[in-house]
Chain A
Amino acid sequence: EIVMTQSPATLSVSPGERATLSCRASQSIKSDLAWYQQKPGQAPRLLMYAASIRATGVSGRFSGSGSGTEFTLTISSLQSEDSAVYYCQQYNKWPPLTFGGGTKVEIK
């Protein structure tokens, strides 16, 4: 099973500042990585797939990078509506599909 590790657990960022979230895979997953955003009481929403491709309707403030075992999600200019928990997920080797533990982004 591929283990996904996200850091930090919580990130507190001022509005307009950049937020950088990290995700590490326990073995190479090439670029088979997705990012999801989840707000309280809502289902997860796909943000990025193939590590760097934005899903339909996702703001250009979100960008993804990385390959192999190290990945990054960047929110270029944080807005209040970006307050959420962000999860990464690998789909290179499954079953099982595996998720990271999440990073909670808070607005300072």
Chain B
Amino acid sequence: DVQLLESGGGLVQPGGSLRLSCSASGFMFSSYVMSWVRQSPGKGLEWVSAVGGSGGNIYYADSVKGRFTISRDNSKNTLYLQMNSLRADDTAVYYCAKPGYYNFLDSWGQGTLVTVSS
């Protein structure tokens, strides 16, 4: 079974940094583009970033470009999201997600909550 387990969330002050991790199992991790999707409290889903299987192709939402960095370590089956210059509107549950045969997201982690507040 596919399993995705996020970690690294927490409370951080505005302007601070946090690194999220997503540990993957049950599939050939290196063969898949992996995405981060976030959901602000009481709001809808927002795609944040994606990285190709080899780590070479990287994409960001405009709202996080220049502040967030996605990466992966295929030897550890782990996806990362380095978040810098955090703002209050980055407060959200962050999910990692795996695509199906195309970019619909067929598996999601349970999410990790990031709260940006002073």
The interface of chain A, by Cβ under 8 A from chain B, is 32, 34, 36, 43-46, 49-50, 55, 87, 89, 91, 94-102
Contacts and interface: CB of A to CB of B under 8 A. Distances in A.
A98 B44 CA distance: 11
A32 B106 contact: no
A91 B105 CA distance: 10
Contacts of A46: 100, 104-107
B21 interface: no
A96 to B, nearest CB: 5
Interface SS of chain A:
loop
Given A43-B110, A44-B108, A96-B61, A91 B46 contact: no
21 contacts: A34-B104, A34-B105, A43-B110, A44-B45, A44-B95, A44-B108, A45-B108, A46-B105, A46-B107, A49-B104, A89-B45, A89-B104, A91-B102, A94-B59, A94-B103, A95-B60, A97-B47, A97-B50, A97-B103, A99-B44, A102-B44
Most B Cβ at <10 Å: residue of A34, A91, A97, A99: A97
Nearest to B109: A43
A91 B111 contact: no
A95 B100 contact: no
A98 B105 contact: no
Contacts of A94: 47, 59, 103
A102 B103 CA distance: 19
A9 B83 CA distance: 32
B35 interface: yes
Given A43-B95, A95-B50, A95-B61, A87 B44 contact: yes
B75 to A, nearest CB: 26
Contacts of B104: 34, 46, 49-50, 89, 91
A43 B111 contact: yes
